[in-house]
Structure 1
Amino acid sequence: MTIEEEKKMYHYYYKKEDFGVCLMECKGDGKEAIMPVDQDILVVYDDIFKGNKELERAEFPDSVIEIGGFVFDGCENLKQVKLPSNLKDFWQYAMTRCGIEEIEIPGSVTRIASFAFNQCDQLKTVKINEGTEKILAWAFKDCAQLTDVYLPTTIKEIDDQAFEGSPNVVLHRK
């Protein structure tokens, strides 16, 4: 690894809690943030990448079950996020104001929290896997480019305001 590549890496800081390992902080820069799989991270705390203009791709290890608020807030160049297959919950504003264009939500997420994808101006396609049951109010608020939302058969409730300010949404049911 060159010195220049080393400068373009993220360094992660953890805290061991009674319930498991938490990713508390991230420092560094680069276009890709691939969080390590060797720590068995359960929770990603708030604001980890907030305001990062360089980040284009992020990948969580499958051990993560909760993603905190404002994790990607303002990451306008972030185009790809691979969510963990065991994810249980997004906190409000987890993905707010980021540049993702498409997202696949694992079925282990039983409900999509309010404002989770608030003001994702570039978001066009959402694929929700079997297992998700609810989309709460304002989950996809002001996602102006959002057109296609693919719903699983397990969806039981979509709040009337789930897509407020997202005028072009077409819900596709399996």
Structure 2
Amino acid sequence: MTCEPNITQVAYNACQYAKNLISVDLPEGITIIGVQSFDGCISLKEIKFPKSLTKIGAGSFSRCSSIEKVDLLHTKVQELGYHAFYGCTKLREMKVPDSLQKFNDDEGGVFENCSKLVPSDIDVSDSKAVVT
């Protein structure tokens, strides 16, 4: 008999500054991506999110300057933490599900310094902004 831990979240700072990380495939069962989990992963281009995901923590993907697209439509994401995608300078497409209830914008814009995000007229520091 094998005993597998019930892992439901990516730990805070788990892969922070992993500069050679190119792709992440998060397993089903993960519900939370912790604070700054992938912060500063400058080579990260592709993230596969599990259906079970409900929260992306503060600064989780900050300064991941190679990410161009994020698709959360198939997830149950309800919350994006402040600065979740801060400084993702190549991010140009973001798809979020109807389950998204709030942008945690108390201390900074979720999409601050994401200059290529379309539509470009979104006020990325506005906690009521909607990205489709």
2:8 is paired with a residue whose SS is: strand
**Which protein has the bigger strand share?**
1
Find out whether 1:125 has 2:125 as its counterpart.
Answer: no
* CA deviation vs aligned residue, 1:110-160 (integer Å, no higher than 9, x gap): 1222111111111110001221122332111111111149xxxxxxxxxx9
Find out whether 1:55 has 2:26 as its counterpart.
Answer: no
Q: Distance in 1 between matches of 2:28 and 2:47?
A: 13
Which 4+ residue blocks in structure 1 deviate beyond 6 angstroms? none
Task: Give the count of matched residue pairs.
Answer: 120
Q: Distance in 1 between matches of 2:27 and 2:130?
A: 31
Greater relative contact order (Cα 8 A, min sep 6): structure 1 or 2? 2
Superposition pairs of residues 80-159 of structure 1, within 5 angstroms: 80-98=46-64, 99-105=66-72, 106-137=74-105, 138-148=109-119
Where structure 2 has 5 or more consecutive residues not aligned to the other structure, the ranges are: none
> Which of structures 1 and 2 has the bigger CA Rg?
1
Report the TM-score when normalising by structure 2. Answer: 0.79
Contact kept, 8 Å, 1:56 with 1:78, in 2: the verdict is yes
The alignment yields a C-alpha RMSD, in angstroms, of 2.4
Report the TM-score when normalising by structure 1. Answer: 0.61
The residue identity in structure 2 corresponding to 1:92 is A
Where structure 1 has 5 or more consecutive residues not aligned to the other structure, the ranges are: 1-37, 150-159
Identity %: 26
